[in-house]
Amino acid sequence: MSFGSPYLTLPEFEYHRPETIDEVIELLQKYGGDAAVMAGGVGLLAFMKERLVSPAHVIDIKGVKQLRQTKYTAGESIRIGASVTLSELAANDVLRTKFPALHNAASWIADSIIRERATLVGNMCEAIPWVDSPAALIALEAKVEIAGSQGTRSVNMDDFIRGPVEIDINPGEFVTGVMVPDVPPRKSAFDKFNTGAEFSLATVAVSVTTGKERKARIVYGAVSTKPVRCAEAEKIVVEEEASRRTFRKAAEAASESVECVSDVLASAEYRRQLIHLITMRALERVFEK
Amino acid sequence: MSKIVLKVNGQTRRLETKDSELLLDLLRDGLAVKSVKAACWRGECGLCTVLLNGHLVKSCLVLAVEAAGGEVTTAEGIGSDGELAPIQKAFIEHGAAQCGFCTPAFAITLHELLRKNPAPAQWELEEAVRGLICRCGTYNQIREAVASASSAYAGAEKSQNLVEGSR
Amino acid sequence: MPPQDAFLKVSGTALYTFDCEVAGTLHAKLVTSTMAHAKIVRIDTKKAREIPGLVAVLTGRDMPFRVGLYAGDRDLLAVDKVRWVGHPVAIVVAETLKDAERAAELVTVQYEALPSLLDPVQAMKDGAPLIHEKMEEYSHAPDFHPVIGTNIANRFTLFHGDVQKGFEQADTLVEEEFRISHVSHAYMETQNVIAQYKRDGSAEIWTSCQSPFMVRQILSESLKIPYNKIVVKAPFAGGGFGGKAGLGWEALVLLASKAVGGRPVRLLLSRMENFTSAASRDGMVANVKAGFKKDGKCTAYEVRFVVDAGAYADYTVNVSRTMGYAAEGVYEIPNVHCESLAVYTNKIPTTAMRGFGYPEGNWVLEQVFERAAKKLGIDPVRIRRINLVRPGESHTATGEPLREDAGDPAKVLETLVRDIGWNEKLSQPSSPWRIRSKGFALCVKGPSQPSRASASAIVKFNEDATIDLLVGTGNIGQGTTTALSQLVADQFGLQIESVRVDPVRDTSKSAYTWQTVGSRGLFADGMACLRACEDAKNQILGLASQALRLPRDQLEVVKGAVVAKGRPWLTIPLRELVTGYVYPNGNTIEGPIIGRGTSSSSLNTYLDPEKGQGVPTVFHTFGGAAVEIELDPTTGVIKVLKAASVFDVGKVINPLLLKMQLDGGFVMGLSIGLYEKIKFDEQGWVTNPNLSSYYVARMKDIPREFVADFVETPQSDGPLGARGIGELSMIAVASAISNAVFGATGVKLNDLPMSSEAVWKAIRAQRPDLLKSAMDGYDGVEIPMVARP
């Protein structure tokens, strides 16, 4: 996947700015596969400029007030609407304290100017291998909330991304937000390596819950064509006493077992090395006193 | 085509646009605001950065219609009373512009940063301009300009932590 | 004193070609090749012509011209075959940009694949398919020697002494292979041109370029238009760095304008097109063998540069030649043998880039010396000292006697060593497994210009004695025009505000200069300016002499007036002289004062075709870069903590401008050294034609501490003793960083860029023990890259 094109303009389209979710659905029904939903626009417009997609209708959902909201219900969940920007999330204290993996992932995507416009949902829906948010969302067992003419449905983030730029969305549907369950006591962390590139070469999101039994999710992004969990590393973290030795063991296991690709940014073997390093870092943060 | 009204650098402008026009092109071609540049058209270089309704945005990734009824400020408009903004003056004094193509974007971005955070730490400054490229490599002079303009934005003593061993 | 044009730039009112608007302009778009090497079977423009706004489609057949300054090898559009992915095959012209984009999409080309060569070493081999079959038809500037019947666009050889004897005398040998990948200039303003071929046969061109006069020359010679019927205008350029030094798209767009009945046509490249269709910097493979005695004295230096010139090699034939004649850098080596070959490949064409062959040569030379030092157990500073050229005594490897006022490399070295704190204890690394180190490299450069590269200046007084200074030096960000204004203002005792240089360079109005390249601006145009001031002063004093009835030698120009020496009450302000002098009774003598001056590199010679002997350049700016780095073996990340740059500029005219060049050049050198690489796949496609995966340093990547120092050994034929500096500041940076890594760890980094992955792999291969101990010590506790304090 290589970005860059001869185009300086956008293809022609009709712009719509509905004010309610129902209006969005109506428009999607009306225009079907010829319509695309736009939130921050930094993803969609860049793709359109390259003619990777050329929808005849662009539905700007920023006018739908409901979708701009972030709602936290203690003990239940945090719901983040589709138009909530990354910079709004970066400033969200509840996210920072209770969902650090997601907060970290959101706060360091791209750059501060892009984050003023880019949305969490937009970022995850891009689903190119190098976006940061999916790994964090998967680690935190997020659910993707989708609305369409048939009603609403909810998909586990684990299953939402099927492959590069391939998500579980049908024509006529759009993502209205994500729901991240608040299941204390949960600790989480996100880390990444992106020296020498504006995309991440490797990311990791770790979530450990220590309720009746310890559960762990360790998810890697940017190293494969889509985010992947590492069962071997998760097993080690669940079964063994939290210590640097354990973290190193888990990191080594991840480094060896996670399927990595070689692409324009990095080779698979370098990604393995990075996996080792960022896994240890993320685990240290999760378990720090 | 649709008619929109927006304020640009304090002046109300009325013009026609179409749905597929970018804010970048509305400003440059429709309104002849040439300080807004473009070097990548993909949101990587940041040279198209403007203030839209108080937020920094990369105008190559914003539709013109999204600015309807709004306010855009560019490098020509961050000063006041016919004077350049303090950061702009500091840029001149400290040689923070070489070819100058990135300068308007840096000026707006740093003006915004200093208004909110008059004495940024090094890492805050670096993060604020993370989305901008200066190929001439004038970053060190830009740092010095920020340090020197700091007091004008704070009305306080010149921030020490920004001047690190540069001769 | 800040650059004069700073106000325009910070206020957003500086005008670039990107901002120019000409009424009635049509929009052009390129159709480019999708094959690295192929015959063009058919170009189908039928569908494109159906677009309502389409005005014209042109292909190579419509413009049978080849252009080039040193090697006339370049077609304006592909003729008969394409030579790289991105090779323009057709140009469409339409009423709107959108129409042009749509029309370009609809032009289809049928190709018949030819075997392609992506590796210069392969391309050099006997029997390799020819990329340019008709090389013997190409024009060549004197001093360039293509090897007909091969893919070798230029061959340069240098023989100085006898390297075999030198090797026999050596106590130790260093043998290495070094590689550099293609790099993009990545100037922020992409290439763009507005050209109009008017009905009366005259041409007007707005272009983002470094050499408007050279553009005019090439257009005139190839299109057979008299020079004075072509007007090339160059406003501020958003960066050039050598990538806009030559002819860009001007000829193509001008002919497109002709084809549409003389309407102006604009071509603006997208960033991706700039990566893939505009020229990049050359790649290089170098094999070197050097011999050293026990005391560190270099006895022999043998190097072969195989320069990857891409599909067209115009400037690169000179870049590769320069690599050859400058191979020995700042050292006096008794036996040097160099062969430098510019080789065509089926990749992006290449051209000049800041440094012009010196950075490539420096990457080889300075690391060889560092490795010799280690082998011999000698301090790297000492091995430099022992081998430095001695101005006034040494000869260069091309046989040029080094003048005494050429500079003081020994002082540069001492100052550099002091500024980086070479002998001070290293500070503690930020984490126990990381390593701190220091490294340095020396460098030298002069402009690689032909002897006929001249400059001129016109000092034109206005009625109020302010000056319009006409020069040919362009504004690409280097601020030279400010230094020139300073020089001129000082000559008349005026404030710098009294001297204006127009922002736009216009071949019909500006004074001629050869090109804005090679760090020659201050030196060449500066001398022309000083001579123009002399000329103006002569006229002024002659006039004042009549007016005051005093001999000329009794008068001088001080603070904007002519004053009699020792009798300050006898004075006439300049404004009463510069448009003629009016006597009290009304008689008027003389008229407007126009001072003129020129300069040329008169004593440059061609280089002997076999031995490479001669005088290729007009000055040698000596300098160096030093760094303090922190290396993380676990990731291969090199963080440069402190930068030191020292240059012998002869005379500091404007300290701020110099600092800007030094710091800015350092950043570019760092970026190229650590991050930049144009990546190609096996079919010759560029896989990273964007600024996310082709990484250019941002503020977070640069050192927090910059030290810049100047040595002043005035050069007698430079303006006030000054030499050039523009390119110098980036030449030694990559080498300095690599030497820092090598010095601390013994790990050789022979390839550029020193990406974190490449460094990690090198450590893993060469010092597995170091990697292991770093991994053992790694605790994952250090401040993570993501969170902040």
- pLDDT tens by residue, A122-169: 999 999 999 999 999 999 999 999 999 999 999 999 999 999 989 999
* Nearest alpha-carbon partner for A87 in A95, A98, A79: A95
C183 DSSP 8-state letter = B
C11 and B167 within 8 Å at the Cβ level: the answer is: no
- Tell whether C414 and C310 lie within a shared domain: yes
B46 and A12 within 8 Å at the Cβ level: the answer is: no
pLDDT band at residue B165 using 50, 70 and 90 as cut-offs:
very low
Tell me what pLDDT residue C392 has.
94
- pLDDT tens by residue, C57-110: 999 999 988 999 899 999 999 999 999 999 999 999 999 999 999 999 999 999
Tell me what pLDDT residue B166 has.
40
Rounded CA-CA distance A273/A223 in Å is 11
Phi then psi dihedrals of residue B39, to 5 deg? -135, -10
- Token pair, residue C712, equals 């002043």
CA angle at C474 for the pair C469 and C476, rounded to the nearest 5°: 135
Question: What's the structural domain count of chain C?
Answer: 3
> Is C202 inside any structural domain?
yes
pLDDT band at residue C537 using 50, 70 and 90 as cut-offs:
very high
Rounded CA-CA distance C494/C618 in Å is 30
Sort strands C505-506 and C230-234 into parallel, antiparallel or unpaired: antiparallel
Polymer length of chain B? 167
C242 DSSP 8-state letter = T
Helical pair C358-376 and C380-387, crossing angle rounded to 10 deg: 120
Instruction: Read off the pLDDT of each residue in C741-759 and give the average, rounded to a whole number.
Output: 98
Residues 51-110 of chain B with CB under 8 A from chain C are 74-76, 79, 84, 88-89, 91-104, 107
Interchain contact A111–B (C-beta under 8 A): yes
Residue C443 parent element (H or E): strand C435-445
For residue C755, give the nearest of A196, A274, A285 by CB distance: A196
> Is C153 inside any structural domain?
no
* Residues ≥6 apart with Cβ < 8 Å to A82: A37, A39, A61, A67, A119, A121, A122, A174, A175, A176, A177
Instruction: Read off the pLDDT of each residue in C225-238 and give the average, rounded to a whole number.
Output: 97
- Tell whether C584 and C643 lie within a shared domain: no
Residues 136-165 of chain B with CB under 8 A from chain A are none
Instruction: Read off the pLDDT of each residue in A66-87 and give the average, rounded to a whole number.
Output: 97
- Tell whether C83 and C212 lie within a shared domain: yes
* Nearest alpha-carbon partner for C516 in C297, C724, C739, C298: C724
CATH number of the domain within which C744 lies: 3.30.365.10
- Tell whether C202 and C347 lie within a shared domain: no
B19 and A12 within 8 Å at the Cβ level: the answer is: yes
Amino acid at residue number C384:
R
pLDDT band at residue C789 using 50, 70 and 90 as cut-offs:
very low
Q: Which residue of C has its CA nearest to B92?
A: C6
- Tell whether C398 and C429 lie within a shared domain: yes
Interchain contact B35–C (C-beta under 8 A): yes
For residue B39, give the nearest of C13, C190, C667 by CB distance: C190
Q: How far is A102 from chain B (nearest CA, A)?
A: 19
C211 DSSP 8-state letter = -
Q: How far is B127 from chain A (nearest CA, A)?
A: 7
Rounded CA-CA distance A265/C674 in Å is 14
What residues does C287 pair with on adjacent strands?
A: C177, C304
Q: Which residue of A has its CA nearest to B61?
A: A42
Tell me what pLDDT residue B164 has.
43
Spans of all domains in chain B: 2-77, 86-165
Tell me what pLDDT residue C782 has.
61
CATH class of B2-77: alpha beta
C404 DSSP 8-state letter = G
Options 3.40.50.300, 3.40.605.10, 2.60.40.10, 1.10.150.120; CATH for B86-165 is: 1.10.150.120
- For residue B158, pLDDT beyond 70: no
Q: Which residue of C has its CA nearest to B130?
A: C698
Tell me how far the alpha carbon of residue C118 is from its chain's centroid: 25
Rounded CA-CA distance C245/C346 in Å is 22
Could you tell me the CA-to-CA distances from B51 to A114, B18, B84, B131, B133 in Å, in that order?
A: 12, 21, 16, 15, 18
pLDDT band at residue C17 using 50, 70 and 90 as cut-offs:
very high
CA angle at B58 for the pair B57 and B63, rounded to the nearest 5°: 90
Tell me what pLDDT residue A2 has.
79
Residue C549 belongs to domain spanning: 455-599
Q: Which residue of B has its CA nearest to A60?
A: B66
Q: Which residue of C has its CA nearest to B28?
A: C19
- pLDDT tens by residue, A216-244: 999 999 999 999 999 999 999 999 999 99
- For residue B160, pLDDT beyond 80: no
- Tell whether C401 and C435 lie within a shared domain: yes
- For residue A275, pLDDT beyond 90: yes
- Tell whether C554 and C517 lie within a shared domain: yes
- Token pair, residue C155, equals 């061959």
For residue C693, give the nearest of A108, A197, A273 by CB distance: A197
Q: How far is A198 from chain C (nearest CA, A)?
A: 5
To which residue do tokens 């500073």 refer? Answer: C381
- Tell whether C474 and C428 lie within a shared domain: no
Residue C532 parent element (H or E): helix C526-548
- pLDDT tens by residue, C658-683: 999 999 999 999 999 999 999 999 99
B58 and A11 within 8 Å at the Cβ level: the answer is: no
Q: Which residue of B has its CA nearest to A110?
A: B131
Which residues of chain A does C693 touch, with a Cβ-Cβ cutoff of 8 Å? 2-3, 197-199, 264-265
Interchain contact A3–B (C-beta under 8 A): yes
- pLDDT tens by residue, C464-507: 999 999 999 999 999 999 999 999 999 999 999 999 999 999 99
| CB-CB neighbours of C39 under 10 Å | 13
Per-position b or e across B43-75, b if 16+ CB within 10 A of its CB: bbbbbbbbbbeeebbbbbbbbbbbbeeebbbbb
Are A138 and A203 in contact, with CB atoms under 8 Å apart?
no
> Is C422 inside any structural domain?
yes
Per-position b or e across C675-699, b if 16+ CB within 10 A of its CB: bbbbbbeeebbbbbbbbbbbbbbbb
Phi then psi dihedrals of residue A181, to 5 deg? -65, 140
Residue A165 parent element (H or E): none
- pLDDT tens by residue, C265-314: 999 999 999 999 999 999 999 999 999 999 999 999 999 999 999 999 99
Q: Which residue of B has its CA nearest to A111?
A: B131
For residue B95, give the nearest of C271, C660, C706 by CB distance: C660
| CB-CB neighbours of C565 under 10 Å | 12
Q: Which of C112-116, C233-237, C479-483 has the lowest mean pLDDT?
A: C479-483
Rounded CA-CA distance C607/C144 in Å is 9
Which residues of chain C does B92 touch, with a Cβ-Cβ cutoff of 8 Å? 2, 6-7, 10
Amino acid at residue number C744:
A
- Token pair, residue C688, equals 């990273």
Last-in-domain residue among C577, C599, C621: C599
C610 DSSP 8-state letter = T
Tell me what pLDDT residue C452 has.
80
Rounded CA-CA distance B94/B108 in Å is 17
Tell me what pLDDT residue A114 has.
98
SS3 C426: coil
| CB-CB neighbours of C351 under 10 Å | 28
- pLDDT tens by residue, C155-198: 999 999 999 999 999 999 999 999 999 999 999 999 999 999 99
Residue C756 parent element (H or E): helix C756-766
Are C513 and C527 in contact, with CB atoms under 8 Å apart?
no
To which residue do tokens 């996947």 refer? Answer: A1
Q: How far is B132 from chain A (nearest CA, A)?
A: 9
Q: How far is A198 from chain B (nearest CA, A)?
A: 8
CATH number of the domain within which C215 lies: 3.90.1170.50
pLDDT band at residue C604 using 50, 70 and 90 as cut-offs:
confident
Q: Which residue of C has its CA nearest to B34?
A: C19
Interchain contact B29–A (C-beta under 8 A): no
Q: How far is C784 from chain A (nearest CA, A)?
A: 7
> Is C561 inside any structural domain?
yes
Cα Rg of chain A (Å, integer): 19
* Nearest alpha-carbon partner for C199 in C229, C159, C243: C229
Interface mutation target, options C354, C430, C661, C699, chain B, most CBs of B under 10 Å:
C699
Could you tell me the CA-to-CA distances from B29 to A62, A178, A256, B103, C770 in Å, in that order?
A: 26, 39, 54, 20, 57
The most distant pair of C-alpha atoms in chain C lies apart, rounded to whole Å, by 96
C190 and B135 within 8 Å at the Cβ level: the answer is: no
Which residues of chain C does B164 touch, with a Cβ-Cβ cutoff of 8 Å? 704-705
Tally C-beta pairs within 8 A across B and C.
185
- Tell whether C410 and C461 lie within a shared domain: no
For residues A80, A81, A83, A86, the Cα torsion angle rounded to the nearest 10 degrees is 0
Last-in-domain residue among C551, C583, C599: C599
Helical pair C756-766 and C768-777, crossing angle rounded to 10 deg: 110
Tell me what pLDDT residue B45 has.
98
Instruction: Read off the pLDDT of each residue in C189-218 and give the average, rounded to a whole number.
Output: 96
Interchain contact A196–C (C-beta under 8 A): yes
Interchain contact C220–A (C-beta under 8 A): no
Last-in-domain residue among C599, C622, C656: C599
Which residues of chain C does A190 touch, with a Cβ-Cβ cutoff of 8 Å? 786
Q: How far is B75 from chain A (nearest CA, A)?
A: 16
Amino acid at residue number C341:
L
Burial class, B95, CB count within 10 angstroms (exposed 0-12 / middle 13-18 / buried 19+) = buried
For residue B57, give the nearest of A3, A110, A117 by CB distance: A117
Interchain contact A8–B (C-beta under 8 A): yes
Cα Rg of chain B (Å, integer): 16
Polymer length of chain A? 289
Mind listing the domains of chain A with CATH numbers?
14-63 (3.30.43.10), 65-181 (3.30.465.10), 186-287 (3.30.390.50)
Interchain contact A60–B (C-beta under 8 A): yes
- Tell whether C101 and C231 lie within a shared domain: yes
Rounded CA-CA distance B28/C301 in Å is 55
Which residues of chain A does C101 touch, with a Cβ-Cβ cutoff of 8 Å? 6-9
Interface mutation target, options B18, B24, B41, chain A, most CBs of A under 10 Å:
B41
Phi then psi dihedrals of residue C728, to 5 deg? -55, -40
Tell me what pLDDT residue A1 has.
66
Q: Which chains touch B (3 or more CB pairs under 8 A)?
A: A, C
Interface mutation target, options C671, C693, C752, chain A, most CBs of A under 10 Å:
C693
Tally C-beta pairs within 8 A across A and C.
103
- pLDDT tens by residue, B74-99: 999 999 888 999 999 999 999 999 99
Tell me what pLDDT residue A210 has.
85
DSSP labels for C544-575? Answer: HHHHHT--GGGEEEETTEEEETTEEEEEEEGG
Which residues of chain B does C15 touch, with a Cβ-Cβ cutoff of 8 Å? 34
Percent of chain B with pLDDT over 90: 89
Q: Which of C93-102, C511-520, C705-714, C745-754 has the lowest mean pLDDT?
A: C511-520
- Tell whether C83 and C220 lie within a shared domain: yes
| CB-CB neighbours of B162 under 10 Å | 18
- Token pair, residue C690, equals 């964007």
Q: Half-sphere exposure (CA, 13 Å, Cβ side) for C380?
A: 26
- Tell whether C744 and C634 lie within a shared domain: yes
A3 and C693 within 8 Å at the Cβ level: the answer is: yes
- pLDDT tens by residue, C546-582: 999 999 999 999 999 999 999 999 999 999 999 999 9
C667 and B143 within 8 Å at the Cβ level: the answer is: no
Q: How far is C270 from chain B (nearest CA, A)?
A: 7
The mean of the pLDDT values for chain C is 95
> Is C225 inside any structural domain?
yes
- Token pair, residue C553, equals 């030698």
For residue B103, give the nearest of C10, C663, C668 by CB distance: C10
A112 and B128 within 8 Å at the Cβ level: the answer is: yes
pLDDT band at residue B1 using 50, 70 and 90 as cut-offs:
confident
DSSP labels for C21-53? Answer: --TT-EEEEEEE-SSSSEEEEEEE-HHHHTSTT
